[in-house]
C-alpha cells in the first residue's frame, strides 16, 4: 500500500481509536472516583522507537510527558522487552510527572509465519515488534507524608513510593509482589489494587487492537504509516511556524511562591522564531526551589508541546512530529529542569500552567489577534484524607477545580472550565458524598471574577466542602497573589482565594499552598481565579 492522503487519514484515525478504546476500558474498570469519575488518566500509542504516534483526548500534562517514560523504559530494557511484558514506573526523574501518576508501558508483538518460499530454512513462527502502548493514571494515594501524596515537600522521598522502570508483568505473568509493595505503601490499598488492574486491562485492549491493525494491513504498511504520520505532523507544524513573524519574543512571569518560602518565583522565556523553526529558551528562570513546585523536564516538554499544538491546530495529528522543529532549552538545576531529589508534586499541576502562560504571552506579541488572554493559571488542587467513621477505613479524595478561561480575540472567555494542562471532569456530587465523609455545600460560578474588556474573561468557581469527620487537607493553588493578566487593554482576572470556615462560619484566610487539619463541621471554600479580559472595555461600547 502506498501512502496517500486517504490511507494516511485512515491510519491516523485507527491509531487514535486504539488509544481511545484503551481509555474507555480504563475508565469502565477503574476502582477509584479519581479515575472512574474525574477521568484523570491518559492513553497513547508509540512506534518501536518510542515516539508517540497517537493519543486519546485526555490530559495534556500526561500525554506530553509520556514519551519520556517510554524512552526510559526502552533505555532500562534495551532489546529485553518481550511479548507479554509490562513495565511500570512513576519516577519523575525517569520520565514521570509526579509520583501519583503511575505509567504502564507494554510492547506489542505480532506473530510472523515463515515465508512459504523458505522451504528448507527455519520454519518457526517469529514475533516482531509493532510498537508500544501506554497509559498513565493519577492514583489518589501512593504514600508519602500527607494523604494524596502531594505534600509541601522538600524532597521527592517525602512525596510517596518511587517506582523506577521495572517489569510488573513478565511474559504474561504478573509480579504480585510489586502490586503488594505499592498497596502496602498506600493509605487506600484496595483502590490501588483495583486501579492497577484497570490499567493492565486497558493495556491488553491496546495490544489487541494494534495487533488487529497489523493483521488487516500488514506490518510493513503499519510501520510506513507510523513514520508518515510523524513526517506529516512535522510538515504541517513547519508550515504553521512560517506564518509567525520572525523575531525573539521575551516574557517574564511569576509563581506566587513555592509553598515554603514566601517569595515570587520567576519563569522567563525567550521565544525565537526563525523561518520554520522555533527555539524556546527558559534561561533566566528561577533556580530549583526548596518547595515542591519544581517541574521535571518531561513536564516542561509537555507544556511546550501543548502550546505548539494550540498554535498549529487540528491540521497536524497530535504526536511527536510536532516537536521536531522545536528546540527547548531548560538549563539543568533550574525550576523547569531540577536535579533529584527535589520535590515535584506541585510542579506537574501548577508550574506546568505557568509555563503555558508565559509561552502564550510570548506568542501573543507575535500574533496579537490570535492568542487569548491569560486563563486562571492553576489547577486549584484540593486533597483531603482521613478516616471514614462509617466505613471504618482510611480515604483520600482528590479534586482539581475549574476557573475562568481568558477572553478570546473575538469572544468572551468560558466560565467554570478546566484550561490548558488539565482536562479532567469534576467529581459528581453524588459520587463524592457516596464515597467519602464529605458534603458539598456550594458549587457555583464566581460571578464577576473574570476581567472586564472588549471581550470579558470567564468567571471562576466556588466549591465548598464540609467535613463530616476530622481530616487533613492539602491545598496547592496559584494566582492567589498575582492575577491572570488581561491582554491589549483588557482588565486582569480576579485572583483566587482559599478560605476555611471554622465550624461552618468563622472565616480564616488560607495561603495558596497549605496543609491544615480540620474538624467535623468545618468547611473549605475554594474560590478560583477568573480569566483575563481581551481589549479595552470601551471598545465594546
- Render each residue's pLDDT in the chain as its tens digit; 541 residues: 689 999 999 999 999 999 999 999 999 999 999 999 999 999 999 999 999 999 987 688 887 889 999 999 999 999 889 999 999 999 999 989 999 999 999 999 998 877 666 666 666 678 899 999 999 999 999 999 999 999 999 999 999 999 999 999 999 999 999 999 999 999 999 999 999 999 999 999 999 999 999 999 999 999 999 999 999 999 999 999 999 999 999 999 999 999 999 999 999 999 999 999 999 999 999 999 999 999 999 999 999 999 999 999 988 888 999 999 999 999 999 999 999 999 999 999 999 999 999 999 999 999 999 999 999 999 999 999 999 999 999 999 999 999 999 999 999 999 999 999 988 889 999 999 999 999 999 999 999 999 999 999 999 999 999 999 999 999 999 999 999 999 999 999 999 999 999 999 999 999 999 999 999 999 999 999 999 999 999 866 5
Identify the residue whose cell numbers are 463530616: 468
Asked if residue 405 is part of any domain, the answer here is: yes
Please check whether residue 302 is in contact with residue 352, taking contact to mean a CB–CB distance below 8 angstroms: yes
Supply the pLDDT for residue 173.
97
Asked if residue 445 is part of any domain, the answer here is: yes
Same domain, 34 and 178: yes
Choosing from 200, 216, 236, the residue where a domain stops is 236
- In the sheet that holds 506-510, the strands lie side by side as 438-446, 460-467, 523-527, 497-502, 506-510
Task: Show the CA angle centred on residue 203, arms to residues 226 and 101, nearest 5°.
Answer: 100
The Cβ of residue 519 has, within 10 Å, a number of other Cβ atoms equal to 11
How far is 153 from 98, CA to CA, in rounded Å?
12
Asked if residue 340 is part of any domain, the answer here is: no
Please check whether residue 276 is in contact with residue 326, taking contact to mean a CB–CB distance below 8 angstroms: no
How many domains does one find in the chain? Answer: 2
How far is 215 from 217, CA to CA, in rounded Å?
6
Supply the pLDDT for residue 310.
93
Task: Show the CA angle centred on residue 334, arms to residues 346 and 145, nearest 5°.
Answer: 30
Q: What is the largest CA-CA distance in the chain?
A: 87
Asked if residue 425 is part of any domain, the answer here is: yes
How far is 372 from 154, CA to CA, in rounded Å?
35
Supply the pLDDT for residue 111.
86
- Of 464, 299, 309, the residue nearest 380 (C-alpha): 464
Asked if residue 175 is part of any domain, the answer here is: yes
- In the sheet that holds 247-255, the strands lie side by side as 247-255, 265-274, 277-281, 326-329
How far is 338 from 299, CA to CA, in rounded Å?
11
**What DSSP character marks residue 119?**
T
Asked if residue 172 is part of any domain, the answer here is: yes
Task: Show the CA angle centred on residue 222, arms to residues 217 and 227, nearest 5°.
Answer: 155
Same domain, 232 and 379: no
Question: Among positive and negative, which fits the CA dihedral 73, 42, 312, 403?
Answer: negative
The reply to whether omega before 341 is within 30° of 0 (cis) is yes
The three cell numbers locating residue 207: 495490544
How far is 365 from 358, CA to CA, in rounded Å?
11
Which distant-in-sequence residues (6+ apart) come within 8 Å of 186 by Cβ?
Answer: 139, 141, 142, 143, 161, 192
Same domain, 231 and 379: no
Rounded to the nearest 10°, the torsion over CA 40, 45, 48, 53 is -120
Q: Evaluate if pTM is beyond 0.85.
A: yes
Asked if residue 338 is part of any domain, the answer here is: no
Q: Is 449 helix (H, G, I), strand (E, B) or coil?
A: coil
Domain span at 439 = 372-541
Choosing from 201, 221, 236, the residue where a domain stops is 236
Asked if residue 366 is part of any domain, the answer here is: no
Choosing from 220, 236, 252, the residue where a domain stops is 236
How far is 466 from 397, CA to CA, in rounded Å?
13
- Of 99, 88, 104, 105, the residue nearest 139 (C-alpha): 99
Amino acid at each position: 500500500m502506498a501512502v496517500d492522503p486517504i490511507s494516511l487519514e485512515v491510519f491516523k484515525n485507527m491509531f487514535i481509536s486504539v488509544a481511545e478504546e484503551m481509555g474507555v476500558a480504563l475508565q469502565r474498570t477503574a476502582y477509584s472516583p479519581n479515575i472512574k469519575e474525574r477521568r484523570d488518566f491518559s492513553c497513547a500509542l508509540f512506534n518501536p522507537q518510542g515516539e508517540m504516534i497517537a493519543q486519546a483526548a485526555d490530559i495534556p500534562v500526561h500525554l506530553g510527558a509520556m514519551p519520556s517514560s517510554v524512552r526510559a523504559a526502552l533505555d532500562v530494557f534495551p532489546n529485553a522487552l518481550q511479548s507479554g511484558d509490562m513495565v511500570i514506573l512513576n519516577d519523575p526523574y525517569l520520565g514521570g510527572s509526579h509520583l501519583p501518576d503511575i505509567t504502564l508501558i507494554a510492547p506489542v508483538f505480532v506473530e510472523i509465519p515463515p515465508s512459504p518460499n523458505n522451504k528448507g530454512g527455519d520454519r518457526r513462527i517469529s514475533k516482531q515488534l509493532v510498537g508500544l502502548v501506554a497509559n498513565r493514571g493519577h492514583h489518589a494515594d501512593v504514600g508519602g507524608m500527607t494523604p494524596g501524596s502531594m505534600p509541601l515537600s522538600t524532597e521527592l522521598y517525602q512525596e510517596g513510593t518511587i517506582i523506577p522502570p521495572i517489569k510488573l508483568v513478565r511474559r504474561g505473568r504478573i509480579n504480585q509482589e510489586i502490586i503488594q509493595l505499592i498497596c502496602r505503601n498506600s493509605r487506600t490499598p484496595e483502590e490501588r489494587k483495583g486501579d492497577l488492574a484497570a490499567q493492565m486491562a486497558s493495556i491488553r485492549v491496546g495490544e489487541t487492537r494494534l495487533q488487529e491493525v497489523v493483521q488487516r494491513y500488514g506490518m510493513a504498511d503499519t510501520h510506513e504509516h507510523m513514520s508518515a504520520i510523524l513526517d506529516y505532523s512535522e510538515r504541517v507544524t513547519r508550515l504553521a511556524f512560517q506564518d509567525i513573524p520572525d523575531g525573539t519574543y521575551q516574557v517574564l512571569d511569576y509563581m506566587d511562591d513555592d509553598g515554603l518560602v514566601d517569595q515570587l518565583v520567576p519563569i522567563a522565556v525567550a521565544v525565537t522564531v526563525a523561518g520554520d523553526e522555533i527555539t524556546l529558551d527558559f534561561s533566566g528562570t528561577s533556580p530549583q526551589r526548596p518547595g515542591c513546585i519544581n517541574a521535571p523536564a518531561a513536564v516542561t516538554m509537555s507544556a511546550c508541546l501543548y502550546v505548539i499544538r494550540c498554535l498549529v491546530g487540528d491540521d497536524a495529528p497530535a504526536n511527536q512530529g510536532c516537536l521536531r522543529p522545536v528546540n527547548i532549552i531548560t538549563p539543568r538545576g533550574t525550576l523547569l529542569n531540577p536535579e533529584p531529589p527535589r520535590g515535584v508534586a506541585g510542579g506537574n499541576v501548577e508550574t506546568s500552567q505557568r509555563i503555558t502562560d508565559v509561552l502564550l504571552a510570548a506568542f501573543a506579541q507575535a500574533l496579537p489577534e490570535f492568542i487569548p488572554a491569560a486563563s486562571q493559571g492553576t489547577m486549584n488542587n484540593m486533597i483531603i484524607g482521613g478516616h471514614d467513621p462509617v466505613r471504618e477505613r482510611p480515604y483520600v479524595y482528590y479534586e482539581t477545580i475549574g476557573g475562568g478561561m481568558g477572553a478570546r480575540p473575538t469572544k468572551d472567555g468560558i466560565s467554570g472550565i478546566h484550561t490548558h494542562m488539565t482536562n479532567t471532569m469534576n467529581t459528581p456530587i453524588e459520587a463524592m458524598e457516596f464515597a467519602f465523609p464529605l458534603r458539598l455545600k456550594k458549587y457555583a460560578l464566581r460571578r464577576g471574577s473574570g476581567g472586564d474588556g472588549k471581550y470579558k474573561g470567564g468567571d471562576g468557581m466556588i466549591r465548598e466542602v464540609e467535613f463530616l469527620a476530622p481530616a487533613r487537607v492539602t491545598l496547592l493553588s496559584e494566582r492567589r497573589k498575582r492575577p491572570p493578566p488581561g491582554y491589549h487593554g483588557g482588565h486582569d482576572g480576579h485572583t483566587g482565594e482559599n478560605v476555611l470556615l471554622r465550624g461552618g462560619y468563622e472565616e480564616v484566610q488560607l495561603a495558596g499552598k497549605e496543609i491544615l487539619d480540620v474538624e467535623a463541621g468545618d468547611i473549605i471554600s475554594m474560590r478560583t481565579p477568573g480569566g483575563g479580559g481581551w481589549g479595552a472595555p470601551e471598545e465594546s461600547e
